[in-house]
Amino acid sequence: MVDGQVTGEDLAVRAGQLGLEAQAVFDLVQAGFIQRATDVASEPVFVQVAEPQPEAPKPAAPAAPARKRSLAAARMYLMDIAARTFSSAEHPIRQRLVEATDRASVEGAFDALLAALREATSASMVEQVEVSFRGFLPAEDSVAG
């Protein structure tokens, strides 16, 4: 889908076919996950992606279901991030995630992953990973944030 050769408009259309909003493509570009192709002179070729227009709320539309929060979903999210970050399946953090079975061990592996990400990527990307991970975790009554 993303080969650096298609326009932002094409990406937005393809994202729509996958059930994603154009804003999701824009966010990926802003976060650096999607990079624009360069022309022959190695100058960036900028593709204008139109800001999505807010849709009028549907009066009888039911509320969108909340993301399912579970330790398994949070762990799978981290495993995906680790797989994208580390090329080796034998990386110690990936192994910790595979072996993690309770909240404490998942959060311990998460802390190790965050430390590695801080060295490998931007602060905004680290923040996004943390926010997403916390969004997958189930609420815990006795532990704050």
What pLDDT, on the 0 to 100 scale, is given for residue 41? 45
Choice between 72 and 61, residue whose per-residue pLDDT is larger? 72
Residue 56 in domain: no
- Residue-level pLDDT at 51: 61
pLDDT digits 0-9 by tens, 66-102: 667 899 999 999 999 998 888 877 889 999 999 999 9
**C-alpha to C-alpha distance for 13 and 89, rounded to whole angstroms:** 34
Give a yes or no: residue 64 inside a domain. Answer: no
Task: Evaluate the CA torsion angle 5, 9, 12, 14 in order and state its sign.
Answer: negative
Number of domains present in the structure of the chain: 2
Q: How far is residue 118's CA from residue 126's CA, in Å, rounded to a whole number? A: 6
Domain containing 75 equals 71-136
Q: Identify the CA nearest to 120 among candidates 90, 89, 85.
A: 85
39 shares its domain with 3: yes
